[in-house]
Structure 1
């Protein structure tokens, strides 16, 4: 039965909030303190949603019905009225609101993403960020504001989504700084604030102490010398397993301390789509492993030759097989590809190095805040320093695992 203005006016508060329904999803919520709020229930993408229409008597029954009809018309056209409301509020608060700047950033990045990635990014913004901080001025947002939003995602069990949201926030704030809308960078304070990512189909060790124990096992690995050298280089260089086993001596420059190779064109998001070599700085420790191995395999093409195929390189399963011999379940604990996730997580969340440096070392396509691709030599001196500090940090973890009293807490951290 439809409401009347008299019925709404005479509705008295009760011990608990209650609803008086009108028609087509419209109702008034009568609060225990006597306040009366207009609400509209509607369906969007198979989900039930609510739209706040205002407070009675500022919004009369007639006004509420007109607002209801306008909102239902938007839904019929595929538009979420809550999105429209948030966007209008953001515009009213000026071009420096988080929502406005985030949409600018999204539009800049859109041409560089696959359709599926673009869809996920937009859903993350609209479902997990805009409802809580979209209307806020970006210069006013604090690390606490952002942490509350990330924990809201985390608490529903979506740990990976929370980590993705943190990365998106970092990129948006970097874009805001580049475009001189803020000097604020609250995302930097969130390093280590979230629980580690959930294990996936490529399990990886991400705790420094566990990594230290693995490094000890690698050092005492009793398999072939060639495989032990391969295992030693995997955490130092954290390149893809297929590229590690196919490393060629001619690609190693001992004088410059660099390994330059061209990733296969089938690799997604590579830094080298035009065939320009990817440069991996070699730390003193990595060069030491290679120099010791050179007298044994340096006469051939591959650094890690096959034991069975004449002229070939080590097989794809070599690293995982060695990890299994060392006692690691490569389906649950750590796999050959996991060395990349290990380095990515610890370099960022523990040691505090810049994400774009790390991503470049992973041979991922790296773009600046305006969507422009970095070239292969960008920040090479800084990345060389990062790789040396990473190698020193791994040494410290190994020593600490061997002698727990060794103090290594600040070793390798970005300055």
Structure 2
């Protein structure tokens, strides 16, 4: 058996020679002075050589360990030479299967509106890709995932952390299904974060509604952001339905808003009566953005709608972020309107909540329109009253 001294002191000769260790391992001394580790093995009655690197970059101990691993493969009937080639091909394939590549593929497969995909991609680019976007999915561990989630929560964005967790898990699900990953590392840390206890969807009191609307009116931000916020409150639509509103959806003469089916959560067209205040708001916006597709176009790209993140940013600036989120508007509207005695079915129809019976659903939306028109005009007038009391 060799010692390190044997390896270190071996001098080159005119011809190549070998220093044998044991079980097929030897050090090959070349006339050039290069000392190369080799493992000679026999597989299927055929002798072959397996290169293990050069001394002293690969020490005697390391060469023995590598030889031991190669010997295990031979016992299984696997050529270490071919195995190395396969591993190289696999690494090359894995290097192209980064998290970002598969995430983009996952997004492309989703049957979502472009604005929804853009919003989700924006979250990935801000929160996830900087940490793991360039890593092959097989190299990503649960520790990577937990680090992303902890950092996101630490900066005060637990809701974003929850969205990132769901999205990352979905991307890994695709990777596993297409044999590009073995497991979903999100699973191990799925319960690591504390539940988000912020009561963003609780109903605001009448006094809180008035204060919120007064604060938002005076926040000094973008005119479009203010009006998108007002339209959401006047109609009780979802935040994304307000900021993505398209001019072709409105019939201001009839005071109606027909939101296209593909923009609705339930994928059904939703017809809303517009109170006088909403019609006035939209008429004020017409000279400003009427030449564009969207009522509230994106500041940087007028061919795209405003992001509903603009509403959240304004609320954060005003100090409302921990007390209320735009999604809580509908909860507040439903609660207050029920308290005021309006019929539950009429309120549900206004909120486009799914009615399981298709015939009843069609009947409700057609029959309740006039009743909803009166209710929403009363609601708009109450918002003005509650603001005036602040």
Q: What TM-score does the superposition give when structure 2 sets the normalisation length?
A: 0.47
Larger radius of gyration: 2
Between Structure 1 and Structure 2, the one with more helix by share is: 2
